C-alpha cells in the first residue's frame, strides 16, 4: 500500500526541517512505537535526540537490561533513570486499579521532567503516537466514559512547554513494524508483545510488594519460556501472568501450603480492541502449571483465563 522506503526518506527530511538544530527529548519504553520513533529521529538529527528510559520497578524479568542493550546497539543516546524506589514506595498499600494507574502516570511525569531538566535545552518532545492512539484518544474526548485511563497520548509534561513531534501518527502498527525492520530495529523489540504503561502493577492484583512482584516475574518468565519453546510466541497477541491476591490451600510433599494464585492469559487479536482467548495445547498448560508450582515461591495454584474481549479486557486491571 505504502512506499515505506520513500516514507522514511520523506519523514527524515521533514524531521530535519521541522526541528533544525533544536534538541529533542523522548521517553523510551522498550516498546515498538517509541523505539521506532527514536531510531527514525536519530537518523534525521543524530545526537540532538536525547532519550530517557525510566525503570519504574514494574518491568518484566531482566527487561531493563535487555532493552538498554538494544538501545546501545542502535547507537541511541539514552539516559537511564532508576526510579524503582520512588514508584514502589508511592504504590505501597494501593490496591485500586485506577489509583495505581494515576500514581504511576504522575510519578512518570515527575521523574521524566526532572531528567529532562538535567539534560536541559530541549525544545521538542518526541512521541511514538500511532494512528490508532490518535483515534482512540479522540473518541475518549467525546465519550465521557473512560474504560481505563491510558497515559500514552498527550499524557506527557504539559507544563514543560515543549513542542510535540509525532512522526508515526499516520501509521498503523504493522507499518511501524515494517519501518522498524528497515531501520534495523531488532525482532526482540518489533515482535515483543504489547506491554501496558503501568506494567506489572496492573498484573499484580491487590497490593504491590517486592515479594509479590518477584513471584509474578518468575511465573511470567516460565509461561513465556514455554510458549516460545512451543513456537507460539509470534502467533499470540499477548501472553502473560497475573497474580491474584487470593490464597488457597495446597499440598507439597506432605506439607500443607497456603499461597496465592497465578492466572495465565493468552489472547489473539488484530488491534487489542477485541480479542479471543487462545486455545493453548493442554500439554503446554500442564507443563507451565507444574513448573510454576515447583519453581515459584508464593504460588501454589494456576488457572487459565478462558474469557475473550469483550466481555473481559485483555489486562485484568
Ligand atoms: P485492555 O486491557 O484495555 O488492553 O483490553 C488493550 C491493550 O492495551 C494495553 N494496555 C495499555 N497499554 N498503557 C499502555 O500502553 C496502558 O495503560 C494500558 N492498559 C492496557 C493492553 O496490554 C492491551 O494490549
pLDDT of residue 136: 77
In Å, what is the CA distance from 308 to each residue of 24, 219, 242, 244, 277? 41, 22, 16, 19, 5
Inter-residue contact 261 to 305 (CB < 8 Å): no
Is the CB of residue 238 below 6 angstroms from any atom belonging to ligand 1? yes
Which neighbouring-strand residues pair with 127? none
Domains of the chain with bracketed CATH: 4-190 (3.40.50.620), 203-304 (3.30.300.10)
Is the CB of residue 315 below 6 angstroms from any atom belonging to ligand 1? yes
Site to probe by mutation for ligand 1, drawn from 237, 314, 316, 317 as the one with most ligand atoms within 8 Å of Cβ, is: 314
Between CA 317 and CA 309 the distance in angstroms is 13
Does the structure's ipTM exceed the value 0.95? yes
Index of the ligand 1 atom closest to the CA of residue 313: 5
Rg (CA), the chain: 20
Protein residue whose Cα sits closest to atom 4 of ligand 1? 314
**How would you class 27 by CB atoms within 10 Å of its CB: exposed for 0-12, middle for 13-18, buried for 19 or more?**
buried
Residue 204: alpha-carbon gap to chain centroid: 15
Containing 216, the helix (H) or strand (E) segment is helix 210-229
Between CA 275 and CA 304 the distance in angstroms is 15
Inter-residue contact 233 to 227 (CB < 8 Å): yes
pTM of the model: 0.91
Banded pLDDT at 146 (limits 50, 70, 90): very low
pLDDT, tens only, 233-269: 999 999 999 999 999 999 999 999 999 999 999 999 9
Amino acid at each position: 500500500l505504502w512506499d515505506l522506503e520513500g516514507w522514511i526518506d520523506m519523514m527524515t527530511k521533514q524531521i530535519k526541517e521541522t526541528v533544525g538544530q533544536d534538541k529533542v527529548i523522548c521517553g523510551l519504553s522498550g516498546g515498538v512505537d517509541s523505539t521506532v520513533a527514536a531510531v527514525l529521529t536519530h537518523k534525521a538529527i543524530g545526537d540532538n535526540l536525547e532519550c530517557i528510559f525510566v525503570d519504574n520497578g514494574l518491568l518484566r524479568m531482566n527487561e531493563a537490561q535487555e532493552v538498554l542493550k538494544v538501545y546501545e546497539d542502535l547507537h541511541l543516546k539514552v539516559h537511564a533513570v532508576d526510579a524503582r524506589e520512588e514508584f514502589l514506595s508511592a504504590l505501597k498499600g494501593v490496591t485500586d486499579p485506577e489509583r495505581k494507574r494515576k500514581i504511576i502516570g504522575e510519578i512518570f511525569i515527575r521523574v521524566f521532567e526532572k531528567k529532562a531538566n538535567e539534560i536541559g535545552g530541549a525544545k521538542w518532545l518526541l512521541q511514538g503516537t500511532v494512528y490508532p492512539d490518535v483515534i482512540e484518544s479522540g473518541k475518549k474526548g467525546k465519550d465521557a466514559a473512560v474504560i481505563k485511563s491510558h497515559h500514552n497520548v498527550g499524557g506527557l509534561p504539559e507544563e514543560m512547554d515543549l513542542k510535540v513531534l509525532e512522526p508515526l501518527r499516520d501509521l498503523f502498527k504493522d507499518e511501524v513494524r515494517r519501518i522498524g525492520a528497515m531501520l534495523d530495529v531488532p525482532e526482540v523489540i518489533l515482535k515483543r508483545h504489547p506491554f501496558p504503561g503501568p506494567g506489572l502493577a496492573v498484573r499484580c492484583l491487590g497490593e504491590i510488594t517486592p515479594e509479590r512482584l518477584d513471584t509474578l516475574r518468575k511465573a511470567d518468565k516460565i509461561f513465556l519460556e514455554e510458549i516460545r519453546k512451543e513456537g507460539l510466541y509470534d502467533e499470540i497477541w499477548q501472553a502473560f501472568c497475573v497474580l491474584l491476591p487470593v490464597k488457597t490451600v495446597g499440598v507439597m510433599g506432605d506439607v500443607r501450603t497456603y499461597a496465592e494464585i497465578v492466572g495465565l492469559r493468552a489472547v489473539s487479536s488484530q488491534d487489542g480492541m477485541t480479542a479471543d482467548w487462545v486455545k493453548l495445547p493442554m500439554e503446554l498448560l500442564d507443563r507451565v502449571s507444574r513448573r510454576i508450582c515447583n519453581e515459584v515461591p508464593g504460588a501454589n495454584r494456576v488457572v487459565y483465563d478462558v474469557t475473550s474481549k469483550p466481555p473481559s479486557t485483555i489486562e485484568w486491571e
